[in-house]
A and B are shown apart, each in its own frame.
Chain A
């Protein structure tokens, strides 16, 4: 290596010597194919088993449901076929015995009895074990305890039983299917090779029948989904990121050349869509995780001899797949606790007048940059006195400390290692090594856990997981010379405060600043002060973001609001996360990096206290929120200005366009947008007489029928839900409402057009 040559090139050279990709591949190319096939088989089989578990649990309640039987049957059959193809005889045999039983049930429309379901569950477990063996050792295992004959015999015994009472049906159905009929099997435990062959043929016939049925019913989702390696997805995310940067550079240089400019615009919108699509590809619905729980809860409930039902809500909430993996264990643990300790036995429930079946509700939702997962049970709850007594007994807290504790602090004791209030220790839980592990696991991915409990009524465990990589709508704001993102879900309102109004709206209570929002006084925090930045207020005024988070409502002052954008929250290093201000970072549309603010952490940092939270709960629940409106101003050149309010759900994007990209054809203003023609409304003639490179603000609105149209406005003022009067119908179908003491035109999706008449200023 020559030292006097250019340094940069040499370093590249050094890196070039390490073949980046090759080193990580354990197999030479020709074995990849087989390896990939096995890998795919294993993951597909796991999915299949999960699905079967779910169906079997459902089958327990509806034993005669043909669709369920069909689904399980199909999954087992697929597995059998693939196992045969890849030469896993043990799996094939096991799957086959299950398939035979299921086929029997299906053909005779026979109800599955509990013994059958139990043995099918056992079969699923055995299949899972074998699959684990294959994954770990590459073989199915042939040790003494890996003998399956007993299980297969049991299944076949059940099959024979199932056949007997419906022998006539069987003959008929087999005749229809064109299957050769051999003598019915008398003794299920001893099978001859001949009857075995019949069983196989019978099963095959049913599969063919079944196939034709599914095809006519319309394709199942198997044909519309593809398995993709996660590493490929990760790579795609990175590549799209690079594409965005190149696009940004191109957009900055496009000025002048019309054709190049149009191509750049097109590239811009395509990149945007590509980015979103790729990000979505990484997200999985939580249903994927939740679907394994019914089986688990069922088994646990049986062991504890309790009756428990699990309910789901918000299963469609999407989360990055790595996070789904991370919360799997904590959530499993929490559910175990709920079944074992939360829900009481039937007799106990009966004496306190609760329905005999306990209910565990697992719900998920997105809230301000977080996914909240709640496990709520209607069981006995946690007795605070017992918790305190245990903590004192263990020496964790002193008697005086205990007396001074708030309810929340008492509940936090649950997370102390080694503390369990369970009266009895079972093999499922109760050893006191539960909740502390749950907490540490959730905190490792930057989340948090809370427990709320009411003695005798139930317990609620709330997991908060960050939305790393998830796409969230956010508002880009400026404080000092920094840009930040506020997740829109945390925002209640975004208001512009003019310098002239500031005195009226903002006040002081001793040290604390407060903001007057209609008839409510909110604690006010300035982002500049909080972050130690230099204030740079705009010439007209500043903005106040009213934030609702963790049942606290406060006003956050920012210098300016730049735009609304869908952002991708990217993980940041733990050192930055521990500052307790940011939940991540994001790359904005223009390529800039902006930090994403963690509103809950900011509320804590600014000293919002628990008491604020408690009182807010009732207020928030009592008042239904009025619809959110985006308020814009249209200022006719030299004329009056009017305010227009848009329903927030009808606004797709806020774009800044050059006046030159607008064209008038046949008297209508339009422009190309995302490969389509976009009709543009310009009530006040903002585009008339504008030079071609003048920037205009265009709201991309969605009509009721999902078609897009553009509305030119002079500026976007704020997002607010502040109605002081019900909208009134005025001439020409337009609705006028009183918003912030100003008459405001409501942009309705049905009539769509803004009348050229300006709403008159309210001289109040």
Chain B
């Protein structure tokens, strides 16, 4: 928690990310999530709601990245485990499911299992940098870009590439 708040302070402290926003790039609001002590960001426009301590029903035979199904008021929400996508061990204790909107391209609404949601930040779009190519290929796809601050980088996730069908296709293609 302290770690995430540090990130918040540091990113906000940067000169580009001031409260007045920048005229050329515009601001981007991101939802800050925490995973295994690290922080990641999701653009808020993709987030529909957040469910704390969701009851996940595991699906036997499902691929590893599927954490299970969450009953969201009668909607069977397929939920992807971010830990599993990033190759981290499963979390114990509390969890949090971020419900992501259905996209215009026909992708269904889905859930993303994270450790916790920390808050919302307004960031300057111009400060978004590319992820270095040294990051492993499997993770490269789900990283959209990053904001660099004094002690590290805040990675913005690519929501489209966290969709279960996309992940399934990429697992399939890596097998072939």
B108 to chain A: which residues have CB within 8 Å?
A: 573
B135 interface residue (CB < 8 Å to A): no
B83 interface residue (CB < 8 Å to A): no
Given A587-B74, A595-B59, A10 contacting B120 (CB threshold 8 A): yes
Cα–Cα distance between A14 and B47 once the two chains are bound (Å): 9
Nearest Cβ on chain B to A55's Cβ, whole angstroms: 39
Nearest Cβ on chain A to B69's Cβ, whole angstroms: 6
A574 to chain B: which residues have CB within 8 Å?
A: 165
Q: Mark B117-147, 1 if CB is under 8 A from A, else 0.
A: 1111110000000000000000000000000
Are A575 and B66 in contact (CB-based, < 8 A)? yes
Nearest Cβ on chain B to A486's Cβ, whole angstroms: 15
Cα–Cα distance between A414 and B43 once the two chains are bound (Å): 47
Nearest Cβ on chain B to A170's Cβ, whole angstroms: 60
Given A241-B74, A570-B74, A11 contacting B120 (CB threshold 8 A): yes
B5 to chain A: which residues have CB within 8 Å?
A: 3-4
Given A237-B74, A573-B165, A585-B69, A1 contacting B60 (CB threshold 8 A): no
Are B52 and A8 in contact (CB-based, < 8 A)? yes
B110 interface residue (CB < 8 Å to A): yes
Given A15-B49, A532-B61, A7 contacting B75 (CB threshold 8 A): no
Cα–Cα distance between A587 and B55 once the two chains are bound (Å): 12
Given A8-B52, A11-B47, A1 contacting B29 (CB threshold 8 A): yes
Are B164 and A573 in contact (CB-based, < 8 A)? yes
- Choose, from A124-132, A343-351, A394-402, A576-584, the stretch at the interface: A576-584
A741 interface residue (CB < 8 Å to B): no
Within 1-37 of A, Cβ neighbours of B (below 8 Å) are at 1, 3-8, 10-11, 13-15
Nearest Cβ on chain A to B165's Cβ, whole angstroms: 5
A299 to chain B: which residues have CB within 8 Å?
A: none
Are B74 and A582 in contact (CB-based, < 8 A)? no
Are A10 and B110 in contact (CB-based, < 8 A)? no
B100 interface residue (CB < 8 Å to A): no
Are B62 and A585 in contact (CB-based, < 8 A)? no
Cα–Cα distance between A587 and B71 once the two chains are bound (Å): 8
Within 29-69 of B, Cβ neighbours of A (below 8 Å) are at 29, 31-32, 44, 47-50, 52, 55, 57-63, 66, 69
Are B60 and A531 in contact (CB-based, < 8 A)? yes
A756 interface residue (CB < 8 Å to B): no
Nearest residue (CB) in B for A533 is B60
Are B121 and A3 in contact (CB-based, < 8 A)? yes
Are A242 and B62 in contact (CB-based, < 8 A)? no
A613 interface residue (CB < 8 Å to B): no
B149 interface residue (CB < 8 Å to A): no
Q: Mark B70-101, 1 if CB is under 8 A from A, else 0.
A: 01011110100000000000000000000000
Nearest residue (CB) in A for B118 is A7
Within 112-158 of A, Cβ neighbours of B (below 8 Å) are at none
B69 to chain A: which residues have CB within 8 Å?
A: 572, 576, 585, 593, 595
Cα–Cα distance between A15 and B98 once the two chains are bound (Å): 13
Given A7-B118, A10-B119, A576 contacting B44 (CB threshold 8 A): no
A240 interface residue (CB < 8 Å to B): yes
With a 10 A CB-CB cut-off, give which of B74, B121, B165 has the most chain A CB atoms: B74
Number of chain A residues close to chain B: CB under 8 A: 44
Within 554-582 of A, Cβ neighbours of B (below 8 Å) are at 570-576, 578-579, 581-582
Nearest residue (CB) in A for B117 is A7
B8 interface residue (CB < 8 Å to A): yes
A4 to chain B: which residues have CB within 8 Å?
A: 5, 8
Are B47 and A575 in contact (CB-based, < 8 A)? no
Nearest Cβ on chain B to A16's Cβ, whole angstroms: 11
B28 interface residue (CB < 8 Å to A): no
* Secondary structure call for the B interface: strand
Nearest Cβ on chain B to A2's Cβ, whole angstroms: 9
Are A532 and B60 in contact (CB-based, < 8 A)? yes
What's the interface size class on B, roughly? 35 or more
A238 to chain B: which residues have CB within 8 Å?
A: 73-75
* Secondary structure call for the A interface: mixed
Cα–Cα distance between A573 and B110 once the two chains are bound (Å): 9
Are A15 and B73 in contact (CB-based, < 8 A)? no
A592 interface residue (CB < 8 Å to B): yes
Are A8 and B62 in contact (CB-based, < 8 A)? no
A482 interface residue (CB < 8 Å to B): yes
B66 to chain A: which residues have CB within 8 Å?
A: 575-576
Nearest Cβ on chain B to A567's Cβ, whole angstroms: 12
A13 to chain B: which residues have CB within 8 Å?
A: 120
Cα–Cα distance between A237 and B97 once the two chains are bound (Å): 23
B76 to chain A: which residues have CB within 8 Å?
A: 570-573, 584-585, 593
A15 to chain B: which residues have CB within 8 Å?
A: 47-49
Cα–Cα distance between A579 and B58 once the two chains are bound (Å): 14
A10 to chain B: which residues have CB within 8 Å?
A: 119-120
Q: Mark B8-32, 1 if CB is under 8 A from A, else 0.
A: 1100100000000000000001011
A482 to chain B: which residues have CB within 8 Å?
A: 58, 60
Are B74 and A240 in contact (CB-based, < 8 A)? yes
A241 to chain B: which residues have CB within 8 Å?
A: 71, 73-75
Nearest Cβ on chain A to B135's Cβ, whole angstroms: 25
Nearest residue (CB) in B for A575 is B164
Are A1 and B120 in contact (CB-based, < 8 A)? yes
B48 to chain A: which residues have CB within 8 Å?
A: 15
With a 10 A CB-CB cut-off, give which of A240, A575, A595 has the most chain B CB atoms: A575
B168 interface residue (CB < 8 Å to A): yes
Nearest Cβ on chain A to B157's Cβ, whole angstroms: 16
Are A3 and B12 in contact (CB-based, < 8 A)? yes
* Residues in chain A within 8 A of chain B (CB atoms): 1, 3-8, 10-11, 13-15, 237-242, 244-245, 480, 482, 531-533, 570-576, 578-579, 581-582, 584-585, 587, 591-595
Q: Top 7 nearest A-B pairs by Cβ distance? A: A241-B74, A7-B119, A531-B60, A573-B78, A575-B164, A593-B57, A3-B8
28 A–B contacts, CB within 8 A, in A order: A1-B122, A3-B5, A3-B121, A4-B5, A10-B120, A11-B47, A14-B47, A15-B47, A238-B75, A242-B73, A480-B60, A482-B60, A531-B60, A532-B60, A572-B69, A572-B76, A572-B78, A573-B78, A573-B165, A575-B63, A575-B168, A576-B59, A576-B78, A581-B60, A585-B57, A591-B71, A593-B71, A595-B69
* Residues in chain B within 8 A of chain A (CB atoms): 5, 8-9, 12, 29, 31-32, 44, 47-50, 52, 55, 57-63, 66, 69, 71, 73-76, 78, 108, 110, 116-122, 164-165, 167-168
